[in-house]
Amino acid sequence: MRQLLLWLILLAGLIERVPAREAVSGTPHPRVLVSTDIGGTDPDDFQSMVHLLVYADRFDLEGLVHSPYGPGRSSHILQVIDLYGQDYPSLKSYSDRYPSPEALRKMTRQGALEDPGLAGYGRPTEGSRQIVDCARRPDPRPLYVLVWGGIEDLAQALHDAPDILPRLRVFFIGGPNKMWSVNAYNYIEENHPGLWMVESNSTYRGWFVGGDQSGDLGNSSFVAAHVAGKGALGTFFAGLLQGTIKMGDSPSVGFLLQGNPEDPSAAGGWGGRYVPVWEGRKTVFSRTPSESDQAEAFGVVEFALPVPEGMGPRHAARAIFDHRIPCPAEQDGRMLRFRFSPRDAKEWSYVIRSDFPELDGRTGRFRAVAPSPEKTGRASRSHPRWWTDCQDPSLAEGIHAGAGTVSRFREPYLRDFARRMLRCQAPFRPRETP
């Protein structure tokens, strides 16, 4: 009896310690490829990369792609991996599933560096090939592609290998990213309507807007209390954005951490709740619009204006929206075409700049508005597996539709993140047993 009692005590101690150090379970881990614009003008991707890596044992990471054609490069991904390498011994003591820094480096690729133009695709890149290669691996699990920046490499991959479409589950942090990648987005939407896609244009903002921000849950107080000084990754994170939380891309990771990823309309997920897209999200202007003309916010606006007499193929033109957002214009027969995606419901103005004098300086404007309830209440038949922000006002955070479906979980996902950051600070120490 004494021996049996001793074994029971030892077993109880072992069971008590299991939650602290995660064992490998039989539950399949999601296959994940991340496409990010890290290192560009928006440093929150650095924060989201830190968040991703401290949860890396929860996934099977297969690719890290630098996606846009802006100032960032894949070297910025490697920069965070180097920091991860410093914390790796401590992280690995908590779970054997953390990938090695070398494995992460080997899966890092550079993606598109050029605007593909109106076609929405151009030439294959290392990043687009990585998407294709991962999607074609003989694995019954789908490949979750988390797009944190430009969507050009995904568009290129679908163009080059349309057979991969059924294998993909795409979570696109849209909004401003959609605005900068409107041509690639337009290509995917028109040519691959069967794609499984979550398009988060405003819901993602709930990660850092609204919710419980009292005490140590504030955007700054949380970083000071639970991130700063927690290993190399925590120190790096705390030095970004003046020590405040943004992590605007992290809802795509939260979507896989808590909730039902196969059903974006389900409540209770850290990545938000979404509704099926509706028809008529694209507006085409065949003339210079005026203040009375309207288009849908976060939709696609295409301008098809007659080419002025005497303007030839050698002439260049671009439209500049709100004096800062350039959109290249291309000649399509006798039409001059360019696209834009308004990320805010407001009046947008543009001016055309061209080396053809009669075109240079032409202006126009239109108003972007929220879609009507009648429109959003009818699910698209042409895009049966495509979801976007819920337009219910009760689920918004201010002007950000759907953001309340994320912000309501602010405390649990930040508390969980705080526990994860402790893994960077000190190795796991099992409790001594009798």
pLDDT tens-place string over residues 270-306: 999 999 999 999 999 998 898 889 999 999 999 999 9
243/56 Cα distance (integer angstroms) = 23
Cβ proximity of 47 and 246 under 8 Å = yes
301/294 Cα distance (integer angstroms) = 10
3-state DSSP percent of the chain in helix, strand and coil, to 5: 35, 20, 45
Write the DSSP assignment of 324-336 as a string of letters.
Answer: TEEEEEEEETTEE
Task: Compute the average pLDDT of residues 317-326.
Answer: 92
362/295 Cα distance (integer angstroms) = 20
74-92 helix and 231-238 helix, angle to the nearest 10 degrees: 140
The 10s digit of each residue's pLDDT in 44-103 is 999 999 999 999 999 999 999 998 767 778 889 999 999 999 999 999 999 999 999 999
Task: Compute the average pLDDT of residues 221-248.
Answer: 96
The CATH superfamily holding the domain 28-278+385-425 is Ribonucleoside hydrolase-like (3.90.245.10)
CATH code that applies to domain 282-370: 2.60.40.10
215/411 Cα distance (integer angstroms) = 11
**Least confident interval from 41-45, 79-83, 147-151, 318-322:** 41-45
304/302 Cα distance (integer angstroms) = 6
Domain residue extents for the chain:
28-278+385-425, 282-370
234/155 Cα distance (integer angstroms) = 34
- Higher-confidence residue of 215 and 9: namely 215
> Which residues, at least 6 apart from 148, have a Cβ–Cβ distance to it below 8 Å?
34, 35, 36, 37, 38, 45, 48, 67, 173, 177, 249, 252
| pLDDT at position 393 | 96
Model confidence, pTM = 0.91
Task: Compute the average pLDDT of residues 143-164.
Answer: 97
* C-alpha 326, offset from chain centre: 22
| pLDDT at position 56 | 98
pLDDT band at 12 (very low <50, low <70, confident <90, very high): very low
188/77 Cα distance (integer angstroms) = 26
